[in-house]
């Protein structure tokens, strides 16, 4: 009994009206009599009429749907951003279609095609880390579908309908180091991931610039490139403790490695933050669970998603004909000082 759904035509026949009147009544169009509207609405209710968005979208040429393409929906960052996107999109009346590239350019390519085929009105993308060629976004640009990159963006890909939302990692790192200096730290070490990744490059540069801005020398021994996980942080910390003059602070480019540093510090009976101040990056959930609680930098994940959607909507509204692409939006990170770096 595959109960076919009631259609506008069905309503029209039942009420002896034309489909157009039904359509207008349902969308509360001005020039339909209240009496008719009432009749239509009641019958629609009774028959559990559900408008077929596919048909409406096809006819209107607008699908009311946004496409989202992320590397994955795991870990801390992307779920939060996706949450922000979904929430804001719902608020603005958009549906959201979500794809994962699994950090694979080929998948990314396919998914872009898929989203285009689905007639999404705009696309939000965070790039796979294997993506270096941007041919697959050419079609999006050509068809003037608004495209917003977030977090992992293309630097040199411009178009009147392309924009980006990113976090100011440089600024975040700069704040951290400034804070540590204010706490009286003078030998500030840095754990960094590979510099070909933007996030690490920018955080690293923020570290260097903050040091020199405050007249501190950059001691190469204090820069450690390590695996940015707990184990990597532990190794890096052990390495630092072997130095003739050990550091009095560690700024880690992520929270996991910072936890590693914290654990090694405790093993070596260093008091945190008195002997060694530690600050991480990303404000992962577990930063409030360590002892002492770990200072970190909030990446405004949810805000990023929200902002990206708002930007997309702005592009959608202003239409494709205008001068130049919108400026990228740079979100300010927020330093959260907790016990691990608060010497008071």
Partner DNA sequence: TTGAAAGCGCTAACAA
Partner DNA sequence: TTGTTAGCGCTTTCAA
Interface positions with DNA (CB under 7 A): 4-5, 7-9, 16-24, 26-27, 30-33, 35-36, 51-52, 55-56, 58-61
* Residue found by looking up tokens 């805000």 in the block: 303
Q: Is 336 in the site for a copy of itself (CB under 8 A)?
A: no
Least distance (Å) from a copy of itself to the CB of residue 53?
Answer: 5
Binds 74: which of DNA, a copy of itself, none (CB < 5-8 Å by kind): a copy of itself
Least distance (Å) from a copy of itself to the CB of residue 139?
Answer: 5
Query: Among residues 138 and 182, whose Cβ is nearest to a copy of itself?
Result: 138
Distance (Å, whole) CA 298 – CA 324: 31
Least distance (Å) from a copy of itself to the CB of residue 246?
Answer: 22
Distance (Å, whole) CA 220 – CA 76: 31
Q: Where in 126-258 does DSSP place strands (E)?
A: 147-150, 162-167, 188-192, 223-225, 249-252
* Residue found by looking up tokens 């577990």 in the block: 286
Over the window 136 to 155, marking each residue x when it contacts a copy of itself by CB under 8 A and - when it does not, the resulting string is ---x--xxx-----------
Name residue 70's beta-bridge partners: 100
Least distance (Å) from DNA to the CB of residue 20?
Answer: 3
Least distance (Å) from DNA to the CB of residue 48?
Answer: 12
Helix (H) or strand (E) holding 302: helix 301-318
Distance (Å, whole) CA 106 – CA 302: 27
Select from 85, 30, 145, 143 the least CA-distant residue to 304. Answer: 85
Over the window 52 to 91, marking each residue x when it contacts a copy of itself by CB under 8 A and - when it does not, the resulting string is xxxx-xx----x-x------xxx---xxx-xx--xx--x-
Binds 293: which of a copy of itself, DNA, none (CB < 5-8 Å by kind): none
- CB neighbour class for 287 (10 Å; exposed up to 12, middle 13-18, buried from 19): buried
Query: Among residues 264 and 335, whose Cβ is nearest to a copy of itself?
Result: 264
- Residue 299 in contact with residue 199, Cβ under 8 Å? no
Q: Is 180 in the site for a copy of itself (CB under 8 A)?
A: no
Judged by the rule CB under 8 A, the positions of this chain that interact with a copy of itself are 1-3, 5, 48, 50-55, 57-58, 63, 65, 72-74, 78-80, 82-83, 86-87, 90, 95-100, 102, 113-114, 116-119, 139, 142-144, 230, 256, 259, 263, 266, 285-286, 288-291, 320-321
């Amino acid at each position: 009994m595959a109960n076919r759904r009631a259609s506008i035509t069905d309503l029209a026949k039942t009420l002896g009206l034309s489909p157009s009147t039904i359509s207008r009544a349902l969308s509360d169009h001005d020039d339909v009599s209240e009496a008719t509207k009432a009749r239509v609405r009641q019958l629609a209710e009774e028959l559990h009429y559900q408008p077929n968005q596919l048909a409406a979208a096809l006819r209107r040429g607008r699908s009311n749907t946004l496409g989202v393409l992320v590397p994955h929906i795991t870990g801390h960052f992307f779920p939060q951003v996706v949450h922000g996107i979904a929430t804001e999109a719902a608020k603005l009346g958009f549906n959201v279609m979500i794809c994962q590239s699994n950090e694979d350019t080929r998948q990314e390519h396919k998914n872009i095609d898929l989203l285009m085929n689905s007639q999404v009105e705009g696309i939000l993308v965070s790039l796979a880390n294997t993506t270096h060629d941007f041919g697959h976004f050419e079609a999006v640009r050509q068809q003037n579908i608004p495209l917003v990159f977030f977090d992992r963006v293309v630097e040199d890909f411009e178009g009147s309908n392309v924009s980006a939302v990113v976090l100011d990692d440089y600024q975040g790192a700069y704040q951290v180091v400034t804070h540590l200096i204010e706490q009286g730290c003078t030998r500030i070490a840095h754990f960094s991931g590979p510099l070909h990744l933007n996030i690490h490059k920018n955080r690293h540069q923020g570290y260097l610039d903050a040091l020199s801005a405050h007249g501190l020398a950059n001691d190469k021994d204090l820069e450690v490139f390590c695996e940015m996980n707990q184990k990597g942080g532990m190794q890096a910390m052990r390495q630092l403790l072997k130095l003739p003059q050990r550091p009095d602070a560690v700024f880690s480019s992520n929270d996991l490695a910072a936890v590693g540093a914290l654990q090694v510090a405790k093993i070596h009976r260093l008091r945190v933050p008195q002997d060694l101040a530690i600050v991480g990056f990303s404000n992962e959930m577990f930063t409030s669970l360590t002892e002492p609680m770990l200072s970190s930098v909030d990446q405004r994940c949810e805000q990023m998603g929200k902002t990206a959607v708002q930007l997309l909507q702005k592009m959608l509204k202003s239409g494709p004909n205008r001068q130049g692409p919108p400026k990228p939006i740079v979100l300010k990170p927020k330093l959260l000082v907790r016990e691990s770096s608060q010497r008071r």
